[in-house]
Amino acid sequence: MCGIVGYMGRSDSVSFLMEGLKRLEYRGYDSAGLAVHTGDALAVRKCVGRLAELENRLSEQPVQGRSGIGHTRWATHGEPSEINSHPHLDSSGRIAVVHNGIIENYQELRDTLEKQDHVFRSHTDTEVIPHLIEQERTDGAASFRDALLAALRKARGAYALGILSQDEPGILYAARLGSPLIIGLGENEYFIASDVPAVMNRVHGVIYLDDGEVAELKPDGVTVFKLDGTPTTPEIKTVDLQPEAAERAGFETFMLKEIHEQPRVLRALLEKHLDHANRIALPEIHAEPDYFRNLHRVMIVSCGTAYHAGMYGRLLLENLTGLAVEADLGSEFRYRSPKIDQNTLFIAVSQSGETADTLASVRLARDMGCRILAICNVPGSTLVRESDGVIFTDCGPEIGVASTKAYTAQLLVFALFSIWAGRLRNEISSDMEQDFVRALKRIPDAIHYVLERDRVIRDIADKHHDGPSALYIGRRYNYPTALEGALKNKEISYQHAEGYAAGEMKHGPIALINEYLPVVCICTRTADAVYEKMMSNMKEVEARHGRIIAVATDGDEAVLKLAEDIIYVPDTREELSPIVNVVALQLLAYYAAQARGTDIDKPRNLAKSVTVE
């Protein structure tokens, strides 16, 4: 979704605006622009396409100034075009605005403003904001700030805004309602940004603006107030991200780097949650043990990859805690009439913590009396702030649009939580917990082993990448793995891919099988209950000459007779095997995408963080 940056200080703003926008590229965009206060006027540069285009524009038409705002746009209202890209101006060209979110009542506002002779240039919802401020000024607002607050009180929907006024060269305004925005505090310089990585090498602290807050940034400080003008005292948080975390560290893409970070990330996450007696500890849940003992039901809601993690969580929680557990998509859940109440624990899973459908579902669940537990990667995100307890996935910034390390960390968190809650509810014994802990400790090395099979996986991807389609099948814990493998493939390689529960083959998808179709079969652990069933499914595919790519356990020779290609993975306890198996599928998708020549870190049409419905 759109990225916002802004600068107010004593240096030239343009170099930061471009650097900050580059760090937000992962959010996805189709056009970009900036506005700079040159000292006596607002200069705007914008264009369609990548930031390189904007850089070219700036070298042809350079601009300088000590305050500025920048934007990468992911089109919602109005096609990607120069006219629709941000910043947007009022009629007089004296107010510039960048925006992430949706102004829901924009048509109504625009109709009124047009009757007052405002001339609109774009098809965006955003453009009403500068015109509204201009109108409030015309109608007699005592100051620019008053006009801004009055305008925002009229806007409905969601926004993160950066605003410059030609008449106030020393002030940059920022506002937030429902879309993320942070203020970065540097040495005599202040920043706004959609996300911390944009500013992390320039600031010592950040303020996470709350909904309904407006900030005024001046060269000598920041003040924050509410929409009614009352000042607030914002909390300053320290930034503990290292700048190099946002760099590629020698990998050709962020996605590949993030795939390789998984052993380290998971090891650290596991260590953080084991106490001195090797038992799982989750103090951050902030709930009395009795709460979990008396609980009836768990509802897990998330979107995309995080939904696959939720499906895995449902199986594991149900199995280890004896609770009734359901998992749903945010976009579906929010329109249901769910039967949930104060005896339901609502778990929201989100890498970004800003996904609109997940947040809407959280608000619905809260209204119905549920306690909210978040599994999230981004401290200070909206989800974190709206939840009663949070288990952080602690992956560091995930820049590649396709989620990898956040997914395996979400699975690990579900494993930790399920075992922990199972023991608390006396559904599993301490010995069983210790068995699980031993198996969990082997996961980072098992992933490492898969990463070392990189060459084998690349060769398999090279062989199968050019077909029009691929099928992924798995059962039980590895059914979500099949869905996730297919999702990874389609989103980065653009090869059509379907994930299916293998038991459904005869109910339809078997009709697809012919001698051209690659079928990825997740068939690990010969001792598992569903192994034999998976073998039967593979035989069905083989009999119809499908091209089987098996993910199988090291040493399994039976698979050799059926599969054209095999990715061997280490033997891992069935319940935990998805954490390892999915890494093979991440690499398979990665190398298919590489062979197909796509833009892996920024796949077409996708945004990292889906902050609108």
> Least separation, in Å, of the C-beta of 303 and ligand F6R?
4
* Catalytic residue flag (residue 237): no
> Least separation, in Å, of the C-beta of 610 and ligand F6R?
5
In this chain, which stretch among 300-308, 458-466, 510-518, 577-585 interacts with ligand F6R, using CB under 6 A?
A: 300-308
In this chain, which stretch among 7-15, 37-45, 208-216, 303-311 interacts with ligand F6R, using CB under 6 A?
A: 303-311
**Ramachandran region of residue 369, left (φ > 0), alpha (ψ -120 to 50) or beta?**
left
Q: Which is nearer to ligand F6R, 304 or 578 (CB)?
A: 304
**Which amino acid belongs to residue 38?**
T
The correct pick among 355, 361, 581, 594 for binding ligand F6R (CB under 6 A) is: 355
Q: 335: Cβ–Cβ under 8 A, 6 or more apart, which residues?
A: none
The correct pick among 135, 305, 393, 481 for binding ligand F6R (CB under 6 A) is: 305
In this chain, which stretch among 209-217, 291-299, 344-352, 561-569 interacts with ligand F6R, using CB under 6 A?
A: 344-352
The correct pick among 306, 391, 505, 530 for binding ligand F6R (CB under 6 A) is: 306
Q: Which is nearer to ligand F6R, 208 or 292 (CB)?
A: 208
In this chain, which stretch among 31-39, 215-223, 348-356, 421-429 interacts with ligand F6R, using CB under 6 A?
A: 348-356
* Catalytic residue flag (residue 521): no
Q: Which 554-613 residues touch ligand F6R, going by CB under 6 A?
A: 609-610
Contact criterion met (CB below 8 Å) for 356 and 613: yes
> Least separation, in Å, of the C-beta of 605 and ligand F6R?
12
Q: Which 388-447 residues touch ligand F6R, going by CB under 6 A?
A: 402-403
Q: Which is nearer to ligand F6R, 418 or 489 (CB)?
A: 489
DSSP state of 236: P
Q: Which 76-135 residues touch ligand F6R, going by CB under 6 A?
A: none
Contact criterion met (CB below 8 Å) for 265 and 395: yes
> Least separation, in Å, of the C-beta of 308 and ligand F6R?
8
Using rule CB under 6 A, residue 352 touches ligand F6R: yes
Q: 286: Cβ–Cβ under 8 A, 6 or more apart, which residues?
A: 388, 389
Q: How many CB atoms lie within 10 A of CB 279?
A: 15
To 5 degrees, how large is the angle CA 251–CA 30–CA 398? 35
Contact criterion met (CB below 8 Å) for 69 and 164: yes
Contact criterion met (CB below 8 Å) for 414 and 316: yes
Q: Which helix (H) or strand (E) holds 269?
A: helix 262-272
> Least separation, in Å, of the C-beta of 153 and ligand F6R?
30
Q: Which is nearer to ligand F6R, 31 or 351 (CB)?
A: 351
> Least separation, in Å, of the C-beta of 488 and ligand F6R?
7
> Least separation, in Å, of the C-beta of 29 and ligand F6R?
16
Q: Which is nearer to ligand F6R, 306 or 535 (CB)?
A: 306
> Least separation, in Å, of the C-beta of 600 and ligand F6R?
12
Q: Which is nearer to ligand F6R, 572 or 611 (CB)?
A: 611
Cα Rg for the chain, rounded, in angstroms?
26
Residue nearest to ligand F6R (CB): 304
CA dist., res. 585 & res. 173, Å (int):
45
Contact criterion met (CB below 8 Å) for 297 and 343: yes
Q: 169: Cβ–Cβ under 8 A, 6 or more apart, which residues?
A: 37, 39, 40, 66, 67
Helix (H, G, I), strand (E, B) or coil at 3: strand
> Least separation, in Å, of the C-beta of 564 and ligand F6R?
27
CA dist., res. 485 & res. 109, Å (int):
45
Helix, strand, coil share (%) of the chain residues, nearest 5: 40, 25, 35
Q: Which 474-533 residues touch ligand F6R, going by CB under 6 A?
A: 491
Q: Which helix (H) or strand (E) holds 501?
A: strand 496-501
Enter the tokens of residue 411. Answer: 């699975």
Catalytic residue among 46, 488, 490, 608: 608
Q: Which is nearer to ligand F6R, 31 or 352 (CB)?
A: 352
Q: Which is nearer to ligand F6R, 484 or 565 (CB)?
A: 484
In this chain, which stretch among 80-88, 242-250, 304-312, 471-479 interacts with ligand F6R, using CB under 6 A?
A: 304-312
Q: 181: Cβ–Cβ under 8 A, 6 or more apart, which residues?
A: 4, 100, 160, 161, 174, 175, 192, 193, 194, 209
Q: 292: Cβ–Cβ under 8 A, 6 or more apart, which residues?
A: 345, 421, 424, 425
Handedness of CA 454, 456, 459, 463 (dihedral sign): negative
In this chain, which stretch among 178-186, 277-285, 350-358, 556-564 interacts with ligand F6R, using CB under 6 A?
A: 350-358
Q: Where are the beta strands (DSSP E) in 296-440?
A: 297-302, 324-329, 344-350, 371-376, 389-392
Question: Residues binding ligand F6R: what is the number (CB under 6 A)?
Answer: 14
In this chain, which stretch among 275-283, 347-355, 498-506, 527-535 interacts with ligand F6R, using CB under 6 A?
A: 347-355
Catalytic positions, written as ranges? 2, 608
Chain residues that interact with ligand F6R, rule: CB under 6 A: 303-306, 350-352, 355, 358, 402-403, 491, 609-610
